[in-house]
């Protein structure tokens, strides 16, 4: 997954694909500094936390790091799947970047981090014990007062350097009467008004975006008569669950919105498997209110030149001293259990949990970002047992596992753990693979995709050992807020991985 090339000059295209950051990248928050744009997303139980992306055109995004990459910044001990890091907000003020977020664990709460370079390093956390709730936002008024607004929706003044609050949180406008889950607030000064943007309806099919405005950051707020200004609820649109938005201006001064959405597939009720993804949609202003376009799978290219980032390589040869920023682990990543320095050019995993069912499994993976894709790895299991897995959580995962002389396909769905198939293989390293392809749509019960797990023979041919229904690794079945992560794990002893390939296939 190394950078192979960088285009020498801007390019033009008729359309660009949406989502702009595909795969499990929910709750986007965007920040513009000069000609540069940055986005951060939720990461939940995965470490390192809060992926940070950079763009020069709002279209092409490159991950430049993870904001929370040290144990002193992020402790996820005891965090359940879909617990952990929720809904960060990224802002730039007074020459530095500010990142505020909620760690939903027993030892967590709201925290604030700063950096001069969004690629890192980021500071240790400033704790915010006086800030309740989740989805915190930051905004500064003309007098330099820092306002923190949280889901609910309530607001409190804070000292961002110390974390101290100077008052009791007070309630603000919370969207439509009786609307579920008013959350994801963002406060902006635009023209003569302060605008309060929120999500409501819950992050499922009824998700939407609403807005209100007032003369001061504390309100009172007047709701937009056209609320919700964005929702796909009750439609057959290919993008659903649209909400949790943030506003930004393009290079030409036009307005845009980053927003999460999902791409359900299959029959009823429709299953989304990649998690909530980051989409982009244009915004116009009419009579002092934003008018937001529907979120489409493709959009016309904007007026400014497109500037693609580096091309991502299919293969990671594990030739760096640390894993690249796309790699995440479950809850932590101790060097004694996960390292590229023990055997040169290999990733070494030393088991802790006995399987992917265990919260402390040793796992390193990357988000599935394409509806159809293939992943492969070369494993040496001579000293242990491990393999290649597609994970949603501890109770929903498929894997192909190797030990000396044998491979087997395993399935965990809810309370059921099954050995789907097994076969002998020659002693020594083996190549494991999973192919994810769309499922035939036979009727209203057809699933979204099929995961075929198997081995690659010495002549390069693929031998399938099991073909499994993808619906069971979906949010609609498993619940929660995450998406699929494809990666490598150890379940006994020590296993070594020579390389890992990930590549999209034709949808």
Among residues 323, 406, 391, 403, which one has the least CA distance to residue 358?
391
pLDDT band of residue 14 (cuts 50, 70, 90) is confident
Q: What angle do CA 180, 27, 68 make, to 5 degrees?
A: 130
Tabulate helix, strand, coil % of the chain (nearest 5). 0, 50, 50
Per-residue model confidence as pLDDT tens digits over 308-353 = 999 999 999 999 999 999 999 999 999 999 999 999 999 999 999 9
What pLDDT is recorded for position 13?
Answer: 60
Strand partners for 362:
490
Q: Are 174 and 125 in contact (CB under 8 A)?
A: no
Sheet holding 240-249, edge to edge: 240-249, 255-262, 277-286, 289-292
Of the candidates 27, 135, 394, 399, the residue annotated as catalytic is: 27
Per-residue pLDDT averaged across 19-24, rounded?
Answer: 98
Neighbour-count burial of 397, counting CB atoms closer than 10 A to its CB (0-12 exposed, 13-18 middle, 19+ buried): buried
Residues in the chain: 507
- Report how far residue 274's alpha carbon sits from residue 506's, in angstroms, rounded to the nearest whole number: 16
The proportion of the chain whose per-residue pLDDT surpasses 70, expressed as a percent, equals 97
**3-state helix/strand/coil string of 236-287:** CCCCEEEEEEEEEECCCCCEEEEEEEECCECCCCCECCCCCEEEEEEEEEEC
Is 183 known to be catalytic? yes
Q: Which of 257-266, 300-309, 339-348, 372-381 is predicted with the least confidence, judged by mean pLDDT? A: 300-309
Listed in sequence order, the residues at least 6 apart from 253 whose beta carbon sits closer than 8 Å to its beta carbon are none
User: Choosing from 183, 277, 399, 476, which is the catalytic residue?
Assistant: 183
Contact criterion met (CB below 8 Å) for 279 and 19: yes
pLDDT-derived band of residue 12, with 50, 70 and 90 as boundaries? low
Q: Provide the 8-state DSSP code for 477.
A: H
3-state secondary structure of 473: helix
CA distance 26 to 482: 8
pTM for the full predicted model: 0.96
First to last CA, the chain: 21
233-264 residue pLDDT tens? 999 999 999 999 999 999 999 999 999 999 99
């Amino acid at each position: 997954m190394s950078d192979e090339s960088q285009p020498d000059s801007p390019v033009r295209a008729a359309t660009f694909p949406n989502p702009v950051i595909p795969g499990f990248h929910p709750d986007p928050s965007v920040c513009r500094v000069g000609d540069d744009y940055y986005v951060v997303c939720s990461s939940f139980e995965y470490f390192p936390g809060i992926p940070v992306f950079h763009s020069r055109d709002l279209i092409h995004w490159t991950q430049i790091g993870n904001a929370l990459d040290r144990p002193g910044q992020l402790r996820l001990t005891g965090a359940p799947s879909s617990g952990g890091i929720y809904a960060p907000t990224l802002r730039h003020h007074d020459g530095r970047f500010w990142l505020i977020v909620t760690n939903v664990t027993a030892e967590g709460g709201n925290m604030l981090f700063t950096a001069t370079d969004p690629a890192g390093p980021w500071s240790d956390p400033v704790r915010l014990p006086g800030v309740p709730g989740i989805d915190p936002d930051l905004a500064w008024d003309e007098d330099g007062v820092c306002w923190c607004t949280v889901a609910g929706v309530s607001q409190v003044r804070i000292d961002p350097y110390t974390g101290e609050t100077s008052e009791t949180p007070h309630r603000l406008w919370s969207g439509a009467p009786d609307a579920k889950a008013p959350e994801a607030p963002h406060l902006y000064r635009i023209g003569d008004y302060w605008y309060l943007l929120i999500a409501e309806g819950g992050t499922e099919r009824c998700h939407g975006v609403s807005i209100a405005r007032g003369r001061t950051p504390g309100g009172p707020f007047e709701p937009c008569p056209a609320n919700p200004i964005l929702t796909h609820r009750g439609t057959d649109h290919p993008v659903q669950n649209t909400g949790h938005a943030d506003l930004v201006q393009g290079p030409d001064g036009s307005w845009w919105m980053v927003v999460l959405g999902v791409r359900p597939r299959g029959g009823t009720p429709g299953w989304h498997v990649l998690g909530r993804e980051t989409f982009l949609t244009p915004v116009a202003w009419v009579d002092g209110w934003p008018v937001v376009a529907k979120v489409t799978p493709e959009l016309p290219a904007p007026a400014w030149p497109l500037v693609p980032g580096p091309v991502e390589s299919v293969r990671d040869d594990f030739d760096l001293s640390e894993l690249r920023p796309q790699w995440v682990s479950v809850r932590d990543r101790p060097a004694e259990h996960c390292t590229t320095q023990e055997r040169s050019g290999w990733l070494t995993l030393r088991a802790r949990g006995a399987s992917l069912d265990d919260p402390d499994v040793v796992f390193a993976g990357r988000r599935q970002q394409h509806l159809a894709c293939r992943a492969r790895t070369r494993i040496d299991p001579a000293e242990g047992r491990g393999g290649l897995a597609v994970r949603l959580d501890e109770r929903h995962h498929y894997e192909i596992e190797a030990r000396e002389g044998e491979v087997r396909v395993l399935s965990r769905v809810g309370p059921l753990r099954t050995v789907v198939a097994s076969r002998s293989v020659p002693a020594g390293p083996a190549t494991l693979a999973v192919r994810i392809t769309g499922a035939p749509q036979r009727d209203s019960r057809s699933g979204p995709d099929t995961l075929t797990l198997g081995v690659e023979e010495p002549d390069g041919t693929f031998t399938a050992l099991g073909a499994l229904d993808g619906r069971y690794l979906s949010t609609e079945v498993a619940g929660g807020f995450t998406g699929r992560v494809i990666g490598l794990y150890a379940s006994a002893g020590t296993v070594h991985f020579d390389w890992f390939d990930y590549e999209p296939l034709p949808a």
